[in-house]
């Protein structure tokens, strides 16, 4: 999950496509991912939970895992939170993204200037990531 977030933040869209499971990867292009992320400024990733799913080996011997996370990002001078529980499958010894379910606290969020910053810097929002929204 961390490597996928870093790839989005750095614009490494070919890497993101490569981290999808084979069945999903054939439906995507680097251009699709780049276009969807073109106006996004990535601010922070918070991994809340990760686990290997019990009894999760399929017929091909692949193992399933879950990652719950929040990503904070900005678009058009607004701050957003994406809260998702993602399913990953181990294919060819690599963990690959299969799909995700949106959880509560998705969408636009409002932080006041003196609130702690969502990036975890322990600075006030006005002295940290608010500057990225301008």
Which of 35-49, 53-67, 94-108, 112-126 has the lowest average pLDDT?
Answer: 53-67
Percent share of the chain, pLDDT over 70: 95
Q: What is the pLDDT of residue 44?
A: 94
Confidence of residue 131 (pLDDT cuts 50, 70, 90): confident
Say which CATH topology domain 2-133 has: Nuclear Transport Factor 2; Chain: A, (3.10.450)
Q: What is the mean pLDDT of the chain?
A: 91
Query: What's the predicted TM-score (pTM) here?
Result: 0.88
CA distances from 84 to 50, 58, 61 (A): 12, 23, 26
Domain residue ranges of the chain, discontinuous segments joined by +: 2-133
Q: What is the pLDDT of residue 62?
A: 81
- Whether pLDDT at 95 is above 70: yes
pLDDT of 99-110, one tens digit each?
Answer: 999 999 899 999
- For residues 52-82, one letter each, b for 16 or more C-beta atoms within 10 angstroms of the residue's C-beta and e for the rest, the string is eeeeeeeeeeeebbbbbbbbbbbeeeebbbb
- Whether pLDDT at 134 is above 70: no
């Amino acid at each position: 999950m961390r490597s996928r977030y870093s790839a989005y933040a750095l614009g490494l869209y070919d890497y993101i496509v490569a981290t999808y499971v084979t069945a999903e990867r054939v439906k995507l292009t680097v251009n699709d991912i780049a276009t969807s992320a073109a106006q996004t400024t990535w601010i922070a990733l918070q991994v809340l939970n990760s686990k290997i799913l019990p009894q999760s080996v399929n017929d091909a011997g692949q193992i399933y895992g879950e990652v719950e996370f929040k990503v904070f990002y900005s678009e058009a001078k607004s701050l957003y939170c994406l809260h998702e529980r993602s399913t990953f499958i181990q294919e060819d010894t690599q963990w690959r993204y299969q799909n995700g379910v949106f959880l509560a606290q998705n969408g636009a969020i409002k932080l006041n200037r003196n609130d702690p910053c969502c990036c975890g810097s322990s600075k006030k929002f006005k002295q940290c990531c608010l500057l990225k929204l301008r």
